[in-house]
Amino acid sequence: MERTFVMLKPSCVQRGLVGEVISRFERKGLRIVQLKVEKISREKAAELYKVHYGKPFYGDLINTIAGKTVVLMVLEGRKAISITRKMIGATDPAEAEAGTIRGDLAIDLTDNLIHASDSQESYEREHKIFFSEGELQTL
Ligand code: CMP
């Protein structure tokens, strides 16, 4: 079964929207394989977003995440990657359709509430930054 990696960004935690967002994934039928709360280091934030290094928004992006509390999870289900991306909505909340997580709950572009892997390759790279194989194997 396909898996994807999701990070609820600091604003999601600070605004008390963790339950709302997780609930949407559960109601859809995605299974929570693993879930943890972590104060994300600057190093891990930089590793997660290294493909954006050098872009104009890179500094702000890292600063909104680094040293703050996030929720990290691996979700599993049929076509989990594309389904999760669809549920999250467009990167810019102004473009995200109503009914999507960003469309309903976010307004800022840099701090757009949530991140999810956009491909199998991204999933393979991203989940390993935060989860060991052992943490995911037994569940
Ligand atoms: P995310 O899905 O976490 O992946 C990369 C992040 O970079 C994205 O969500 C936004 O938080 C941020 N981002 C992408 N494009 C822009 C942009 N044009 N301006 C500001 N932030 C951006």
Stretch 25-52: mean pLDDT: 97
Structure confidence by residue, pLDDT tens digits, 70-88: 999 999 999 999 999 999 9
Ligand 1, atom 17, residue with closest C-alpha: 57
Is 52 catalytic? The answer is: no
Helix-helix angle 80-88:18-28, to 10 degrees:
130
- Name the nearest CA neighbour of 132 among 26, 8, 36, 41: 36
In this predicted structure, the answer to whether residue 46 has a pLDDT above a threshold of 90 is: yes
* Cα gap 30→23, rounded to integer Å: 10
Q: Stretch 54-60: mean pLDDT, rounded?
A: 96
Any ligand 1 atom below 6 A from CB of 115: yes
Strands 69-76 and 3-8, bridge-based pairing: antiparallel
Any atom of ligand 1 within 6 Å of the Cβ of 61: yes
Nearest CA to ligand 1 atom 18: 57
pLDDT at position 15 over 80: yes
Q: What is the pLDDT of residue 137?
A: 84
Q: How far is the C-alpha of 113 from the C-alpha of 4, rounded, in Å?
A: 17
Give the pLDDT of residue 139: 62
pLDDT at 138 over 90: no
- Which residue among the candidates 3, 9, 85, 115 is catalytic per the annotation? 115
Q: Write down the pTM of the prediction.
A: 0.96
Per CATH, domain 2-38+71-136 is 3.30.70.1350: no
The label of the residue with tokens 């999933």 reads 123
